[in-house]
Amino acid sequence: MFWGFSESLDLYEEYQKNVKTSEKQSEVKILLFGSSDPRHILKTVAKRYQHCAKVHFYIIEACPALIARQIILLSIALEPAHLLTLSARTHLFMDIYGNALIRSTSMGYIDSKAKHLIKCVTDLEFNEKMQPIFDFNHLKFIERDTMENVFSFWRENERNKFDMNATWMQRLRQHLRERFDCRQGAYDWDLQMRLKDNGAQQICSQEYKHWRETGIAFTFPEYSQSHANKTFALQPSKLNAGGYMGEITIGPFCAYGLSCQDQKLLKSNYGQNEYRATDITERNLLELFYEIHEQQPATPDVLVTHKLGMAKINTGKIFEAKTHEIDYNDLKKFNEPLILTDQIKISFLSMADAQTLVDGNKFHQNFDVVFIGRNYFPIVKKELAKVLASNALILFETAQFSIQRKPEINTFLMKIRDMAKEMNLKAISNFNINLPLSVAKFVKIDLDQEHNIDI
């Protein structure tokens, strides 16, 4: 729920590469239907210097709390360069994105930013001044009110308590049931016999087991995580913080941690990876954030990462958080707008739009690219094809990176292919059963234009 299960994609490049129109689009409209995180937005924005096109994203998520989480993650990437160094930006993003317990500095950023975002979501004129890249006009008042409650809960005070350790352990017990007492063996089975067998080779045993046990996915020897990550609290209210209802078997490793342009980071010796999925994630985010701010390819000197795949890290005891580590009366103020607001627009749609979209009654022939998250596939109907523009690209997230058995993964893939057939889409993915396929790609072909397009 809090992260996706496929690699980050430059959706503009995917559109140009797979549709192969005769000329580049000056503006592309992209619908992210349950993508869970902003991985595709960040990759597309980072590679913007290669195409310089206007890109308008439309996002639908299951609840306002997930929209709020995407906003703060995007804000980290788009803060002015002088506010965060490249390394600090990367580790801050990793901490909030994938760790149930975070550093005190990360908690301080959430607290400070939450105060700023409350004003943005309640005062649209202020939002247009400070972060015009975000468009809240499609949201209903009740959804914006809910987001205000979410941001308020992220603030650190005595009323906003969230026991992350307890809710994580409760989630573990619910999932494992009678296997709870032998859970270390269950973790090992899920990783070695399922995830790695399904293509997630880069995840190391130590980091995976630590995440399954504590909720902390990304660790470095120099950091200590002890504060609850309140962005994992679903639907908080004045009386209830909500529990952790997110994914608990795969982890936040798929988006940035399984593949890399630098192939040497993917090497292994005697079955042991030289780099963890955490290290690959660090390297890929360093590249993305550098390109977002510099609008040019990243140089090797900025891509220096940890190499801890072969190391045995003493994760040790999780320390109890101490509230006096931060002076909450002197929190950082955000008085500068986010960057790249002239060519990028991100509109958050109401959940009420979800049904009208799948029925094809709204945004008729509006989207050039549509991405459908795995958890949203069950509500997709063939009428969704009505929202696709001519020669549009549509991508379905598969169940490839999961702990499901191969027959179950193939069954889900067949359901995607059957749905694509009902929508009159043409496959452009290779459906070879021996190749891992985390995203199935199709294109809408207009019969009167098919002879002009080379697929």
For 328-338, the pLDDT digits (tens) are: 445 677 888 99
Q: What confidence score (pLDDT) does residue 319 get?
A: 64
Instruction: Give 238's pLDDT tier (boundaries 50, 70, 90).
Output: very low
Q: What confidence score (pLDDT) does residue 160 get?
A: 84
- Backbone angles phi and psi of 301, in degrees to 5: -70, -15
For residue 83 the two structure tokens come to: 């506010």
For residue 297 the two structure tokens come to: 């390819």
Of the listed ranges 53-67, 120-134, 222-236, 321-335, the least confidently predicted one is 321-335
- CB atoms under 10 Å from CB of 238, counted, come to 10
Whole-number Å distance between alpha carbons of 444 and 82: 43
Is residue 71 predicted with pLDDT exceeding 50? yes
Is residue 102 predicted with pLDDT exceeding 50? yes
Is residue 190 predicted with pLDDT exceeding 50? yes
Q: What confidence score (pLDDT) does residue 316 get?
A: 59
Is residue 447 predicted with pLDDT exceeding 70? no
Is residue 451 predicted with pLDDT exceeding 50? no
Q: What confidence score (pLDDT) does residue 234 get?
A: 77
| Residues 316-372: tens digit of each pLDDT | 567 666 654 445 445 677 888 999 888 899 999 999 999 999 999 999 999 999 999
| Residues 395-439: tens digit of each pLDDT | 999 999 999 999 999 999 999 999 999 999 999 998 876 788 999
All structural domains of the chain, each given as residue ranges with its CATH number in brackets, are 1-62+351-455 (3.40.50), 81-111+150-325 (no CATH)
Instruction: Give 276's pLDDT tier (boundaries 50, 70, 90).
Output: very high
Whole-number Å distance between alpha carbons of 108 and 344: 28
**Higher per-residue confidence, 272 vs 21:** 272
Q: What confidence score (pLDDT) does residue 453 get?
A: 42
Q: What confidence score (pLDDT) does residue 448 get?
A: 53
Average pLDDT over residues 360-386: 95
Q: To the nearest whole percent, how much of the chain has pLDDT over 70?
A: 92
Q: What confidence score (pLDDT) does residue 452 get?
A: 46
Q: What confidence score (pLDDT) does residue 329 get?
A: 46
Instruction: Give 236's pLDDT tier (boundaries 50, 70, 90).
Output: low
Q: What confidence score (pLDDT) does residue 169 get?
A: 94
> What is the 3-state secondary structure of the chain?
CCCCCCCCCCHHHHHHHHHCCCCCCCEEEEEEECCCCCHHHHHHHHHHHHCCCEEEEEEECCCHHHHHHHHHHHHHHHCCHHHCCHHHHHHHHHHHHHECEECHHHHHHHHHHHHHHHHHHHCHHHHHHHCCCEECCCCCHHHHHHHHHHHHHHCCCCCCCCCHHHHHHHHHHHHHHHHHHHHHHHHHHHHHHHHCCCCCCCCCHHHHHHHHHHCECCCCCCCCCCEECHHHCCCCCCCCCCCCCCCCCCCCCCCCCCCCCCHHHHCEECCEECCCHHHHHHHHHHHHHHHHHHCCCCCHHHCCCCCCCCCCCCCCCCCCCCHHHCCHHHCCCCCCCCCCCCCEEEEECCCHHHHHHHCCCCCCCCEEEEEECHHHHHHCCHHHHHHEEEEEEEEEECCCCCCCCHHHHHHHHHHHHHHHHHCCEEECCCCCCCCCCCEEEEEECCCCCHHHCCC
Instruction: Give 116's pLDDT tier (boundaries 50, 70, 90).
Output: very high
Under 8 Å between Cβ of 77 and 289: yes
Is residue 159 predicted with pLDDT exceeding 50? yes
Instruction: Give 284's pLDDT tier (boundaries 50, 70, 90).
Output: very high
Q: What is the mean pLDDT of the chain?
A: 91
Q: What confidence score (pLDDT) does residue 85 get?
A: 95
- CB atoms under 10 Å from CB of 53, counted, come to 16
In sequence order, what are the beta bridge partners of 427?
442
Q: What confidence score (pLDDT) does residue 81 get?
A: 94
Average pLDDT over residues 175-183: 96
Q: Which amino acid is at 286?
A: L
Under 8 Å between Cβ of 254 and 200: yes
- Backbone angles phi and psi of 320, in degrees to 5: -75, 135
Q: What confidence score (pLDDT) does residue 270 get?
A: 85
| Residues 12-32: tens digit of each pLDDT | 999 999 986 667 778 999 999
